Each structure stands twice: as structure tokens, then as C-alpha cells.
Amino acid sequence: MTDLVALQAANANRWAKAKLTRNFTAVAKRLAAPEAKARYQAVSARTGVPWAFIAVAHEREASQNWNTQLGQGDPLGSVSVHVPKGRGPFKTWEDGAYDALVNCAPFAARNKDWSIGGTLTMLEQYNGLGYANKGRPSPYIWSSTDQYVSGKYVRDGVYDPNVVDQQLGCAGLLLAMMQIDSSISWDMTKADAAPKPPPVPKPPPSTPSVTSPAKGSLGAFFVDLFKSILGRK
């Protein structure tokens, strides 16, 4: 069984170091375009899954084809034959996306950890954990960044270490989209997301009085003098 906590840490570490090795700008602009973003946000509102997560999954599964199912890229109007099998048909892309995120493993709508490690690991689970089980970075996430060199499952259960994935990976897409849309942020951890307690206010400075004059004042001199005469400390 894959250690998902370790995988989250590995993906967060790769994210911190990752550099793009191809130009992601055109695809990132297409995914973040206002009309596309509005459709992703509509599904996000129904599922609780961040819209940018939905966008990059849509790109990887179907090159942002709106006539396909989000879960595996099969035609929207047909019953799916790829995993997840037996889904659909759906009348709209949004309905298919809702089904993929809510009703199909790994059930992204149930995810509570949207830190960058949790986000990338959830995306990786959609593609499968075969790479993680081999100790290799998943091209689904890291293709076209310096965190991935080669290795790809060319079909179910068949891994070729020499094949290089030519699609843009999810991590690079997110990095590029963040440069275009400032509302996207994947650096929040659970601790960062928790409301911070209000600062404890400093007590107001005491107001000088006859019995408690300001330090260094003439009044303070006479009070100290009076105490010394009476033998008080």
C-alpha cells in the first residue's frame, strides 16, 4: 500500500524545487480564460474541489475537450469504457465532472487537505499510484518540469522506463496558471489556513499622578526624596 503521507511530502518537496522545461503559457491562458474558469468554478461550487485542480485534470484527461467526461476523457454522451468504467452518459460536461469528483475514486470532493502536497497527491491518485510504488515522479504531475526525466505506463500495467511523456504535467500547469491568475494559490498549509488568534493588546501606559509621577520627572525626584527621609525603600 502506498504511503500517501510520504508521497505528499515528496510532492511538496518537488514543487518547491520545480522549474519548467517547456512553455506552458498558451495552455495555462486557455485553462484560466474567463469562460472556462466560470465553468470550472461552477463545478467547484458544487463539489468543494478547487477550480484550478479541475482545470488541470481536464487538460490531462482530455486536452480540455468539453465533450468528454472528466474522469477518463471518454465521450460525454456514451457509457465510459476506461477507468472509471460504466459512467454516463451525461447531458453536460458539468454533470460528468460532478460525477467524477463526487462518485468516483479517489473521491476528490471528500478531500480535506488542499495544501500543495495534498493537491498534487490527489491528482496523482486520479492517474494511479504505479509511479509512486516504483519511487518515481509521476509524469501526470511532473512532465515538462525538471523533476521528471523519463518513464511512462504505455498501457495498463505496462511500464516503459525509456518513454518520455509528452503531455504537460499538472504541477507545471498550476505553476503557469498562478502567473496568470493571482487568485490561485497552492502554498497554504492547514496551519496557515487556520484563523490566527488576535494579537494580545498591550496595556495602556499608566497616567502619571501625584502618587505615581512619571519616571525622571521633578515629581518623581520629590517622591524618592520623601521616601528616603521616612526610611522607606
Residuewise pLDDT in 10s, the chain (233 residues): 889 999 999 999 999 999 999 999 999 999 999 999 999 999 999 999 999 999 999 999 999 999 999 999 999 999 999 999 999 999 999 999 999 999 999 999 999 999 999 999 999 999 999 999 999 999 999 999 999 999 999 988 899 999 999 999 999 999 999 999 999 987 543 333 333 444 555 555 555 555 555 566 655 555 565 566 656 54
Domain ranges of the chain: 4-192, 204-233
According to the model, what pLDDT value does residue 217 have? 61
Q: What integer pLDDT is reported at residue 168 of this predicted model?
A: 98
Of the candidates 165, 119, 126, the residue with the CA atom closest to the CA atom of residue 145: 165
pLDDT at 191: 33
Rounded Cα gap, residues 221 and 228, in angstroms: 11
CA 37 from centre of chain: 16
Q: Tell me if 71 sits within 8 A of 99, measured CB to CB.
A: yes
pLDDT at 189: 39
Q: Whole-structure pTM over 0.75, yes or no?
A: yes
What is the distance between the alpha carbons of residues 2 and 182, in angstroms, rounded to a whole number?
34
Cβ 65 vs Cβ 86: under 8 Å: no
The Cα 211–Cα 226 span in angstroms is 11
The residues with which 160 forms a beta bridge, in sequence order, are 152
Cell of 216: 525622571
Q: Are 139 and 152 in contact (CB under 8 A)?
A: yes
pLDDT at 185: 85
Residue 88 and residue 67 in contact, taking contact as beta carbons nearer than 8 Å: no
The pLDDT of residue 173 is 98
